[in-house]
Amino acid sequence: MVLEPKFADYGTINSTGDAQPQRNSPNAFLSPDSIITTLPPLDDEESPNTSKGTAMTQGDLYQRQPLLPAPAKGDRWGQGNRPESRQQYYSASAEDDDDDALDNHESNGVIKISMPPPIREEPRFPQERWKTVIAAIVLFFSFLLTLTALAIVHEKVPDRNVVDPLPDVFLSNVPEMIWGLSVSEYMIIICVASTLIVSVLHKHRFIVFRRLFLILALLYLYRAITMFVTVLPVPSKTYYCSPKTNATSIYEVTKRVIVLFSGMGLSINGKHTYCGDYMYSGHTVILVISCLFISEYTPKKLYLVHWLYYLMALVGVIMLQLGHGHYTLDVIVAYYITTRIFWTYHTLANNSFLKQHSPNNYLGREWWYCLFLYFEGNVTGPIPRQWPNWPLPWPKRCQSKSRES
């Protein structure tokens, strides 16, 4: 038996030994220089030129079939090449590879990088209390301007002893009930108190107050303009109007403004004795804006409460008309302007893409759009209906989580 040199190339299929194999040797399949004379050719190889088979070494056999498993008892090299044997071998090898990969992952110090979940930009609702204070100041000056316009217009109202009320479908056919105006103002007090409670108990109360103040400021500013440019005759024949002084000095106007402001524009306290604020109805503005804010910032499941305030607003307007406090046109215009401003403002506030100047953003052409951007620029989405939310740190039992529905 001739030993194979150390520098033999096991990667070739050519035999390097010249010695002939001993067919009867018991170690023929174990010796590295044993020669297999009856090895059948592989399927993808050409048949040998000789009919006796191909002569190759054990190393050459490993080169040709490197994945063959160790022969089992009673097995031959030729039998290990069966399809079922190959299938069992490859399936076992795949499982071993998976186990080895897991072991390497755990023991070789490989760092497992866990991918974080995708970052989702959540809406932001900053409190911005100073903006709420500024909005309150804007509302104060707008309301003051309305009272100033009324104090001046009072001197321009036509004398009802000379000029009759304008023809009106409702007022001309329904007799005046002076108590109707008082009922309407009591409903206004209830609606205003309810709106303030809803705003205070809302989680984002500063944003809600800011919107309430700014929308009311716009409405009172429009009202000051409309009542000043066109003076309508008094619709009621029994409502008391203070006598005219035929003077509009700064002192007289200031005194009237203080009297009107102390009564908050209501006649039930006896402070609203100046006439001329008809176009458009301030009573209707307060009733409509109250039910809109209550329905917008309270949970949807309180739909019965929403409908109750809608009904209360409707009854308040009807009582106002029964008392001949305003013309029907005043009520219609007040409803239209109030709802348009409220819905326009909230459409802009709830859609971030409308907070950018664009040729196609026609809502951005409102004259108060820049003012809106200042107050709403940092609010990035619709305000959730998280109500109620107790604003004070005491008592503890009131500190429950706000809910949205």
Do 364 and 358 form a contact (C-beta atoms < 8 A)?
A: yes
**324 given a catalytic annotation:** no
pLDDT in tens, 249-268: 899 999 999 999 988 888 88
Supply 288's token pair: 């409509």
What pLDDT digit, counting tens, does each position of 310-329 carry? 999 999 999 999 999 999 99
272 is catalytic: no
Q: CA-to-CA distance for 15 and 53, rounded, in angstroms? A: 14
Radius of gyration in angstroms for the set of CA atoms belonging to the chain, rounded to a whole number: 47
Question: For residues 27 and 34, is the Cβ–Cβ distance under 8 A?
Answer: yes
Q: Is residue 361 part of a domain?
A: yes
Domain membership flag for residue 310: yes
Q: What is the mean pLDDT of the chain?
A: 79
40 within a domain of the structure (yes/no)? no
**Which of 154, 204, 283, 306 is the catalytic position?**
283
Query: Tens of pLDDT along 98-124?
Result: 555 444 454 566 677 777 766 555 567
pLDDT digit string (tens) for 358-393?
889 999 999 999 999 999 988 988 988 888 887 777
Predicted TM-score (pTM) of the model is 0.69
Of residues 33, 60, 277, 330, which has the active-site annotation? 330
First to last CA, the chain: 93
> 164-192, pLDDT tens digit by residue?
999 999 999 999 998 999 999 999 999 99
Residue 37 included in any domain: no
pLDDT of residue 124: 76
Domain-embedded: residue 19 = no
Query: Which residue range forms the structural domain that includes residue 246?
Result: 129-380
Query: Do you know the residue count of the chain?
Result: 405
Residue 49: pLDDT band (50, 70, 90) is very low
pLDDT band at 349 (very low <50, low <70, confident <90, very high): very high
Tokens of 242: 């203070």
Place of tokens 């209360």: 312
In a domain, 66, yes or no: no
The number of domains in the chain is 1
pLDDT confidence tier of residue 80, bands split at 50, 70 and 90: very low
Report yes or no on 224 lying in a domain.
yes
Active site residue 283: yes
Q: Are strands 54-56 and 36-39 parallel, antiparallel or unpaired?
A: antiparallel
Whole-number Cα distances in Å, 265 to 146, 211, 225: 10, 22, 17
SS3 label, residue 170: coil
Contact 224, 280 (CB under 8 A): no
Domain contains 192: yes
